[in-house]
Chain A
Amino acid sequence: MSDPTHDLPLTGAIKTDGTPLSLREYEAIGGYAAVRAALSGLAPADVTARVKDAGLRGRGGAGFPTGIKWALVPMGDDAPHPKYLVVNADEMEPGTFKDRLLLEGNPHQLIEGVILAAYAIQADIAYIFLRGEYTVAEDRLHHALHEAYEAGYLGRHILGGPWSLGLHLHMSIGRYICGEETALLNALEGKRATPRTKPPFPQISGLWGKPTIVNNVETLCNVPPIVARGAEWFKGLSRTPNGGTKMFGVSGKAKRPGLWERPLGTTIGEILDLAGGMRDGLTLRGIIPGGASTDFLGPEHLDVQMDFDTVPKVGSRMGTGTMILLDDRTCPVGMVHNLMQFFAQESCGWCTPCRDGLPWVQKVVGAIEAGQGREDDLDVLRRHARLLGPGLTFCALAPGATAPLGSALVRFKDDFERHIRDQRCAWN
C-alpha cells in the first residue's frame, strides 16, 4: 500500500497490520499540527482560501470545488447559527470501497479534516453520517473521537481558544439515496431519506434549515495535508491540473482487485496494472470507471488519465475513481441487469421517472437476459436512457443509472440484439 516512489498524503501513514493509528501515533507523524496551526494563526477565510488555491475537488464523485462550496456559507456576526458540517461517509456506490480504508486505517485524519473544515465555515456542530454496515469503522471512529475529545481537539473551547465544535457519529440504517447530500440531511433529521429541493442549497439552508456543508470522507482527509503543506505542494502531487492524489480501486475479474492512492491523472491502464491485469484467459471488454453511475468505457481507453476533466472528454466520468471491469466471459446484459436492479431498488420513490421508470428498465433488461426480449425493448430502453437523464428527475440517482445503461446500449448493442434474436443468453 505505501509506496516510497509516491507522496501519499491519504494512505502513507496507514499501517499494514490492519490496525488504526492511535492519537499518539497520528500526532507523532504530524497529526493535528494543521489544526494547531490553523486555530492559532489562520483566519477561517484563510483555511478556505488555501483549500480553494489547492484546487481540491469533491471526492464523492461530482468533483465540485471544495473551497468554493465552503465560501458560499454565510459568515460573520449576522450568519445564522448553529452551522453544521456533515461528513458523507455513507459509501454505498457499487464497486466503491475507498472511504472505508481511510475510515478504518486513519480515523484521526478524517477528524482533523472535519475540524479544519468546520473551522473554515465556523460550524458549531459536525456529524459523521456513516454507512450502517461499516461497523469496524464505527468502532474505530468512536475510539478516535473519544481520544480527540480527551485531547481537547473537539468540544468546548478547542485548544483553549474561543471556538467550539461538537462532532457526533451517526450510523445510517442503509439506503443508497442517503449518499445524496440533501437526502442524507433528511435522514439525519430523522425524516424520510428523500432528496430536497435545490435551490436553496445546503450551504444556505441545510440541516434543520441552517447553513450546512456536506463533504465526502476522502475530500476531508485531504484537508489536513493541504493546510499543513500548502496549495502548491498539493497541486504538485497531481499529473494533471486537478490537484492531489486520488484513491483508485479495481473490482471485477482482475488478478489482484484492490485500492491504491495515486496521483490524479494516473491512466486507467496503470491502475489496471496495479491490479495485475485481467485474470488469465480473460479479455477486458468494458470499464465502468468510477462506481456504478458512470458510463462504460472500453479497452481502447486504457491510456485515458483518470481525473475530473479528462474522463468526460471520452464520454464518462471519473466518479469515485473505483473501476468495475467487464470481461468477455461475463454477460454485459446480465451486468446491466444487476446494476438496474440496484438502482430501481434504491430509488426513494419521490419522483415519477425514477420511481416508475427504473423498475421498468430493470424488468425489460431482465426479460432480455432471460431470453424473453422483444424487438421494441431496445427502443424502450433507449427512451428511458434519455428521459431519465440529468435535469429531468428530482436528483441524480436516475441519471446515474442511465449512464451505464445508455453507454451499454451503444457499446454492447450487438449483445443486446443477439439476446433478443436468439431468445437466450449466450453466456448461460
Chain B
Amino acid sequence: MPTIFIDGKPVEIQGNENLLEALIELGLNVPYFCWHPALGSAGACRQCAVTQYKDEQDTRGRIVMSCMTPAVEGLRISVDDAASKEFRASIIEWMMTYHPHDCPVCDEGGECHLQDMTVMTGHSYRRYRFDKRTHRNQDLGPLVNHEMNRCIECYRCVRFYKDFAGGTDLDVFSSHNHVYFGRHEDGTLESEFSGNLVEVCPTGVFTDKTLKKHFTRRWDYTTAPSVCTHCSLGCNITPGERYGELRRIRNRYNRDVNGYFLCDRGRYGYEFVNEPRRPKRPMRRVPEAAGNQFREVTREEAMGALGALVRDGGPVIGIGSPRASVEANFALRLLVGAENFYLGLSKDENALMAATLEAVLEGPARQPSLGEIPKHDAVFILGEDLTNVAPLAALHVRQTVRNKPRARARALGIPDWNVLPVSRVIDTERGPVHIATPYGGKLDDIAASTFRATPDAIAQLGFAVAHAIATDAPDPGPLPEETRALAARIAADLLEAERPLVVAGPSCDSVEVIRAAANVAWALCRRGRTTAGLFYTAHEANSVGLEMMGGGHLEDAAAAVLEGRARAVIVLENDLYRRADARLVDAMIEKAGTLVVIDHLMTPTGIRADIVLPAATFAEGAGTLVNNVGSAQRFIEVLRPAGEITESWRWLRRINTAAGRSTVTQWVDLDSFLRELVGELPVFARIVNVAPPASFRVGGRKIPRQSHRYSGRTAMNANIAVSEGAVAQDLDSPLAFTMEGFPRMTPAKLMASFWTPGWNSAQSITRFQEEVNGPLEGGDPGIRLIEPAAGDGRPYYAPAPVASAATGTLLAIERLHIFGSEELSARAPGIATLAPTPYVLLHPEDAAAVGLAEGEMAEVLLTDQLPVRLPVVCAPAIARGVLALPRGLSGLPFVSLPASGTVRKAPVA
C-alpha cells in the first residue's frame, strides 16, 4: 500500500484511487461537489482543493484538485493549510452568489450537501452585493420538482442522467453564469431513473415531487431498513414515516444490489401504502346487500369465524403469493397443510420459475448479484426488456459497455476514475451487448446487435450460440443463415470476454428461452470461462422464495375447488384476476363456500371475498424476501399500521390459534417463527442470519428508528391527547420506535439512515463504506440461499422442436411496463399518471396487412379467449408476426399469453 504524507505525517492508502477518494477513506473532511462515487471525477467545481508540495523542502506548495490528483507513493499534501482553506471557502462563496438562501422553504434543507459543505469550509460572511441572476423553472412531470435558482452548476445531474443512465432529454444549456440544467422544454422526464436526480443533486434543484404533498424534514422521519417490493431485484430502500404515513423512499446503499440508485417505480411506487380506502379492520361481506358491501368487524368476530372454518369447515386450501414474504407464505402453508398449499402462480408462471431454479441449482454457472453486473464486459440478453422488467439491471448493464474499450484508456495511463478522458478515448466504441427480444427496448441504443423474433426463435438463437461456444452443446437444427452468423458473432464476443454475462427471465413466457440461456452460460463455463454469469430476472419480489417453498399452481387450486376437494379458499396478498382467466377465477370463487382474502388493498379478488383481513405492507411489518438471485433480505417495520392492520403471517397465526392448534403459540415473534420455518423447510436454513435477532443490542441498547434530532415527539399528537402515548413495541427486530437507543455502530444489516456529524445528505454513505464504492462496513446485507451445484454433471438442455405457426395468425405475447404493469405501484398516483393506456402493439406491416394503422381500434381474437378491443400502436422494433399486449395495465382484462390469434379492424359498436 502506498504511503502519502499529510501535513508531514505518513499515512497508508489503498492505491489505485485519486487523492480525494484516499482522503475520504481516511475519514478526513474534504468538501466536494462534482465528484460522486459512482460518477467519478470531473474537476469542475474546484471544491476539493488541497495543497501539494514537491518535496520536504517545499513550503509554499501549489493548490491542486484532489479529485484530479492520482494518490501515488510519496505524495505530500496539506488539507489544513491557509491557502487551500481560503480557496475552498471562496468556492462556496462563489457558488452562493446566486443561490437563493431559501433553506427554510427548500425540501433539501437538513439533508443538503451544499449546506454541509458550506459549514465545512467555514464560509459565512456574504460579500457579494449585487443582484442575483434568476432562472425559470420547468415542470418535469409528476415525480421530480425543478428549482434551478438553487443550482451550483456541479454538472452531476447531466453526468448521471445522460452519461450514466443513457437519458436524452436532460441537458445543460447556455454558458457562463447562465448555464441551465433542464429539458429543452417543459415535460415529464423520460428516463426511468429520473428520481435519482433527487439524491445525485447536491442541493435542492431536483427534489421529490411526491414528497412535497406531505413534506417532512430529514430528522423527523422514522426509518428502518427495507427492501423494494416492486420487482424481483430487491433493491435496498429506506422508507420514511411521519404521522402514520409513508412519506418517501430513499436509496439504501448495498454494493451487492442497487448501489447508489433506484428506479422511479421503486422510489415513487410507495404511495399505495397511503391509499385512504385501504381496509384497516377485518371486514365481512353483507350477504343480503346488493353489490359488494362489507362491514367492519372486530378481530374476535373474524377470528371466531375463521377458526371455526378451519376447524370444522372441511378442507381449506391456501393460495400464496410471489409478492408476499417468505414468512407469510409459510404461515399459510402451515395453516392449510403442505398438500393444500398452492403457490398462487399460474401454471405457466410456475413452470417458468421451476425452470429458472433448476437451471440455477443444477448447472455450473454462477448467478452474479445485481451489483456485480457492471463488472461484466460482454452481455447477451435473451427475451428481457430489462428497462421495464428489472430496471436497475438495465442501468447496470448499461455500464458494462465501457469495460472492454476501457483497456485502451488504461494503456494510455488514464485511471478509471478520470471518467471524462476515459469516455473520450472510448468515444463511440462499446463493449458487446447483444439483445434478442420480441420487441425493442431502451437498451437497444447500446446494443451491438438486436434480434427481433418470436420467443421460440430467440431460444433457437440461444441454443445456436451455446453450440457455437461448445460443440457438445446441442444444435437447434436448421436455422436461417443470418441467425447462424449472428450466433457465431455473439459466441465469439462472449468467449473473448473476461467476464461474459447471460441474462434471461420469464418475460417471454418461454421455458425454452430460459433453458437456452442456461446452455450458453454452461457452455462458457465448460470452455473454461468460470467467470461467466447467468442472471435470471423474475416477475415479483418473492417469486424465487415462493418457488423454493414448493406447491401446486393456480390451475391446480381451481381444479381442487371445482372438483369439490376444498370448501374454502384463503388467498394471501394475491389478485387472482391478474393471473388467470376471469372465467376460471369466477367459477372457482362461486364454487368455494368461503373466500378469505388477506391483502393490503381491495382488489378485484378481495371484492369477491366473504372475509377480508387487512395485511401490513412492507412498510408496516417485518418479513423476508428472496430476490431473483436467491438472496434473502429482511424488511423491517417502519410504520405503525392503522387499525387492525398487521403482517399476514400474524393473521394466519391468529387463525391457527383460533382453530385451537396449541403448537402455534410457540411462535409469537419473527425469530421464533423463523425457527419453525427452518425446521420445516431446511432450504431456508440461512434465513435466520439475514438480520440480527430481536434480542440483539448495541451497548446494551436497542437501535433507534428516529434520529437524535427528531422533533415534536410530545407535541405532534397534542391535538388528540396531551399525554404521550405508550411507545410502540417491536417484537420482531432490535429496533426501537423512538430516538432512544445506541445511535452508533449499527450493523449494516440494520442500518436505515446514514448520518455522521457534518454529513447530513445522501453523500454521507462514503463514511460507512469500507472503501469508496466498497461494501458497507461489516458487510452488505443479504444472504444467498441458493448456489449452483458443486459438481458439473448436468447435461445440456435439448432444444424442443419448434412448431410452425399457422399462416395468417399472429403470436400474442405480453409486454411489461415499468409504470403500470406492477400491481401495487400502479396504485400510487405519481406512477399511475405515467402508466400507458392499454393498446395492442403491432409491426406496421402486420397492421397494414389487416388494414389497420396507428391509433385505430383493433379487435384482438385469441384462441379460447374473449375478444379484446384496443387501439393500435405501431412500432417497427417488434418482430413480424408478433403482437404484444401490455401486462396488467388498469382497464385491460387478463389475457392468457402466449397465445395465437388474429387482429382485425374493430367492428363499429
* Interface of chain B residues 41 through 79 with chain A (CB within 8 A): 42-47, 49, 62-64, 68
B176 adjacent to A205 (CB under 8 Å): no
A392 adjacent to B176 (CB under 8 Å): no
A368 to B: closest C-beta gap in Å = 12
Q: Which of B47, B129, B175, B425 has its CB near the most chain A CB atoms (within 10 A)?
A: B175
B176 adjacent to A391 (CB under 8 Å): no
A29 to B: closest C-beta gap in Å = 42
For the side of the interface on A, what is the size category?
Answer: 35 or more
B179 adjacent to A355 (CB under 8 Å): yes
> Known: A347-B176, A349-B178, A383-B90. Is A200-B45 also a contact (CB below 8 A)?
no
A205 to B: closest C-beta gap in Å = 5
A346 adjacent to B44 (CB under 8 Å): no
B274 to A: closest C-beta gap in Å = 41
* Interface of chain A residues 386 through 401 with chain B (CB within 8 A): 387, 391-394
Interfacial chain A residues near B49, Cβ < 8 Å: 392
B-contact 0/1 string along A180-205, CB 8 Å cutoff: 00000000000010001101100011
B43 adjacent to A355 (CB under 8 Å): no
* Stretch of A111-119, A149-157, A274-282, A357-365 contacting B (4+ beta carbons < 8 Å): A357-365
Please tell me which one of the listed residues A199, A345, A349, A358 contacts residue B179 in the complex, with CB atoms under 8 A apart: A349
Interfacial chain B residues near A209, Cβ < 8 Å: 424-427
Please tell me which one of the listed residues A200, A359, A360 contacts residue B414 in the complex, with CB atoms under 8 A apart: A200
A387 adjacent to B87 (CB under 8 Å): yes
Interfacial chain A residues near B64, Cβ < 8 Å: 391
Interfacial chain B residues near A352, Cβ < 8 Å: 44-47, 91, 94-95, 152-153
> Known: A351-B43, A351-B45, A391-B62. Is A197-B421 also a contact (CB below 8 A)?
yes
A-contact 0/1 string along B402-414, CB 8 Å cutoff: 0000000100111
A380 adjacent to B127 (CB under 8 Å): yes
Whole-angstrom CA separation of A200 from B47 in the bound complex: 22
A-contact 0/1 string along B132-175, CB 8 Å cutoff: 00000000000000000000110100000000000000001011
Interfacial chain A residues near B174, Cβ < 8 Å: 349
Interfacial chain A residues near B90, Cβ < 8 Å: 353, 357, 383, 387
* Interface of chain B residues 382 through 424 with chain A (CB within 8 A): 409, 412-414, 418, 420-421, 424
Q: Is B696 an interface residue (CB 8 A)?
A: no
Q: Is A427 an interface residue (CB 8 A)?
A: no
Q: Is B215 an interface residue (CB 8 A)?
A: no
A344 adjacent to B176 (CB under 8 Å): yes
A-contact 0/1 string along B4-47, CB 8 Å cutoff: 00000000000000000000000000000000000000111111
Whole-angstrom CA separation of A359 from B424 in the bound complex: 31
* Interface of chain A residues 196 through 235 with chain B (CB within 8 A): 196-197, 199-200, 204-205, 208-209
Whole-angstrom CA separation of A350 from B34 in the bound complex: 11
Whole-angstrom CA separation of A65 from B16 in the bound complex: 33
B176 adjacent to A359 (CB under 8 Å): yes
Interfacial chain B residues near A358, Cβ < 8 Å: 176
Q: Is B97 an interface residue (CB 8 A)?
A: yes
Interfacial chain A residues near B421, Cβ < 8 Å: 196-197, 199-200, 205
Interfacial chain A residues near B420, Cβ < 8 Å: 196-197
Q: Is A27 an interface residue (CB 8 A)?
A: no
A209 to B: closest C-beta gap in Å = 4
Closest A residue, CB atoms, query B133 = A359
Interface residues of B, count at CB 8 A? 44
Q: Is B128 an interface residue (CB 8 A)?
A: yes
Interfacial chain B residues near A347, Cβ < 8 Å: 175-177
Please tell me which one of the listed residues B97, B409, B427 contacts residue A356 in the complex, with CB atoms under 8 A apart: B97
A205 adjacent to B425 (CB under 8 Å): yes
Closest A residue, CB atoms, query B158 = A192
Please tell me which one of the listed residues B43, B176, B425 contacts residue A348 in the complex, with CB atoms under 8 A apart: B176
Interfacial chain A residues near B427, Cβ < 8 Å: 208-209
Closest B residue, CB atoms, query A193 = B175
Q: Is A262 an interface residue (CB 8 A)?
A: no
Q: Which of A192, A344, A351, A352 has its CB near the most chain B CB atoms (within 10 A)?
A: A352
A98 to B: closest C-beta gap in Å = 26
A210 to B: closest C-beta gap in Å = 8
Whole-angstrom CA separation of A356 from B64 in the bound complex: 19
Whole-angstrom CA separation of A400 from B319 in the bound complex: 74
Q: Which of A196, A200, A347 has its CB near the most chain B CB atoms (within 10 A)?
A: A200
Interfacial chain A residues near B95, Cβ < 8 Å: 352, 356
Whole-angstrom CA separation of A367 from B130 in the bound complex: 9
Closest B residue, CB atoms, query A211 = B412
A190 to B: closest C-beta gap in Å = 12
Whole-angstrom CA separation of A209 from B413 in the bound complex: 13
Interfacial chain B residues near A391, Cβ < 8 Å: 62-64
B766 to A: closest C-beta gap in Å = 21
Whole-angstrom CA separation of A393 from B65 in the bound complex: 10
Closest A residue, CB atoms, query B179 = A349
A200 to B: closest C-beta gap in Å = 5
B63 adjacent to A392 (CB under 8 Å): yes
Q: Is A300 an interface residue (CB 8 A)?
A: no
A205 adjacent to B412 (CB under 8 Å): yes
B46 adjacent to A353 (CB under 8 Å): yes
Closest A residue, CB atoms, query B64 = A391
Interfacial chain A residues near B98, Cβ < 8 Å: 356
Whole-angstrom CA separation of A348 from B176 in the bound complex: 5
> Known: A209-B424, A209-B425, A352-B153. Is A392-B87 also a contact (CB below 8 A)?
yes
Interfacial chain B residues near A196, Cβ < 8 Å: 420-421, 424
Closest B residue, CB atoms, query A186 = B424
Whole-angstrom CA separation of A387 from B127 in the bound complex: 15
A394 adjacent to B94 (CB under 8 Å): no
Whole-angstrom CA separation of A376 from B126 in the bound complex: 13
Closest A residue, CB atoms, query B94 = A356
> Known: A200-B412, A352-B45. Is A360-B97 also a contact (CB below 8 A)?
yes
Whole-angstrom CA separation of A209 from B49 in the bound complex: 28
Q: Is A50 an interface residue (CB 8 A)?
A: no
Closest A residue, CB atoms, query B419 = A197
Q: Is A175 an interface residue (CB 8 A)?
A: yes
Whole-angstrom CA separation of A355 from B154 in the bound complex: 11
Interfacial chain B residues near A197, Cβ < 8 Å: 42-43, 68, 418, 420-421
Whole-angstrom CA separation of A374 from B175 in the bound complex: 29
- Residues of chain A touching chain B, judged by Cβ–Cβ distance below 8 Å, are 175, 192, 196-197, 199-200, 204-205, 208-209, 344-353, 355-360, 363, 367, 374, 376, 380, 383, 387, 391-394
- Residues of chain B touching chain A, judged by Cβ–Cβ distance below 8 Å, are 42-47, 49, 62-64, 68, 86-87, 90-91, 94-95, 97-98, 127-130, 152-153, 155, 172, 174-179, 409, 412-414, 418, 420-421, 424-427
Please list the 9 inter-chain residue pairs (A to B) with the smallest Cβ-Cβ separation, ordered nearest first.
Answer: A356-B94, A349-B179, A347-B176, A209-B425, A209-B427, A363-B130, A349-B175, A209-B424, A359-B177
Supplied contacts A199-B413, A356-B94, A394-B44, 18 more A-B pairs, CB within 8 Å: A196-B420, A197-B68, A205-B412, A205-B414, A208-B424, A208-B427, A344-B176, A344-B177, A349-B174, A349-B178, A350-B155, A351-B44, A352-B47, A355-B153, A359-B97, A359-B177, A360-B128, A394-B43
Task: Give 22 A-B contacts (CB < 8 Å), ordered by A residue.
Answer: A192-B175, A196-B420, A197-B68, A197-B418, A199-B414, A205-B412, A205-B414, A208-B424, A344-B177, A347-B176, A352-B91, A355-B176, A356-B95, A356-B98, A356-B177, A359-B177, A363-B130, A367-B130, A387-B90, A391-B62, A392-B63, A393-B46
